[in-house]
Amino acid sequence: MSVKHLSHVEKRGKLYEGKAKVLYTTDEADLVIQHFKDDATAFNGEKKGEIANKGRMNNLISARIFYFLNESGIKTHYVATLNDNEQLVKKLAVIPIEVVVRNVVAGSLAKRLGKEEGMELDDPVIELYFKDDSLGDPMINRFHVNSFKIADPEHIRVMEVEAQRINNMLWSFFDERGILLVDFKLEFGLHKGELLLGDEISPDSCRLWDKETKEKLDKDRFRRDLGNIEESYQEVLDRVLK
Ligand code: UDP
């Protein structure tokens, strides 16, 4: 499909509304529009709020990163940016597993193992979480995936390999922009039988610290009431567009 044609793709029915995004169908059965909202939630939806311009900033940050990953040979759902808050993506049958990659101790890992936030890990840690809000997205491993038939074990194997490749690429991408990639979450899905990276990569789904000052430039500013949330997301946008 030509780029000219893509700019004319229009929203049809609402397919799904999540906490931070809405998906709309289009006239193309295989393509959907991903709309980024300003709504912010944390702690499994217990804390709710709005971050001014978050939808726009996350749409543009995620689009830049997915464009970079596509160019680097990672298969993703990203097709094109349509406007400030929307991007065209390939429709996925989402695999109900979140893959978290960690380079530095923070968040739930710090709590679980009683370690200080900020400790750099010798090797990245990869974790799997079962996507189920009613259970609070519990951490699982490959054995749970197999025994409870949560997903195809081969897909999980590929997701873990891809997560490591993506981590190597994004570590350098952010490093060049003065940002420490502490940790991040990925989601994958199937499109015409092919495993693609989906969802978003933004300060909502990553921990991003200024390399020099270690200042937090991500959703922890909202989770922990640190202030300057919009300014921090804007700082990330400015740096990723460099
Ligand atoms: N994360 C996410 N969605 C989730 C859970 C985690 O995007 O539902 C991201 C989070 O922003 C962080 C990384 O995954 O970059 C690791 O999160 P962690 O397990 O430390 O959990 P949290 O502290 O967010 O509860």
Residue 201's pLDDT is 99
Residue 175's pLDDT is 98
Q: What is the DSSP letter of 147?
A: H
The CA 13 to ligand 1 mean position distance, Å, reads: 30
Is the residue at 71 inside a domain? yes
Domain count, the chain: 2
Give the Cα separation of 221 and 226 in Å (integer). Answer: 5
Residue 14's pLDDT is 98
Q: Are 200 and 206 in contact (CB under 8 A)?
A: no
pLDDT < 70 positions in the chain:
1-5, 7
Give the Cα separation of 138 and 97 in Å (integer). Answer: 10
CATH classification of the domain holding 157: 3.30.470.20
Are both 117 and 77 inside the same structural domain? no
pLDDT digits (tens, 9 = 90+) for 65-120: 999 999 999 999 999 999 999 999 999 999 999 999 999 999 999 999 999 999 99
Are both 162 and 97 inside the same structural domain? yes
Residue 4's pLDDT is 53
**3-state secondary structure (DSSP) of residue 130:** strand
Instruction: Answer yes or no: is the C-beta of 221 below 6 A from any ligand 1 atom.
Output: no
Q: Are 231 and 51 in contact (CB under 8 A)?
A: no
Residues spanned by the domain of 146: 93-228
Residue 8's pLDDT is 77
Residue 1's pLDDT is 53
Instruction: Answer yes or no: is the C-beta of 137 below 6 A from any ligand 1 atom.
Output: yes
Residues 6+ positions from 104 with CB-CB distance below 8 Å: 117, 118, 119, 120, 121, 180, 182, 183, 207, 209
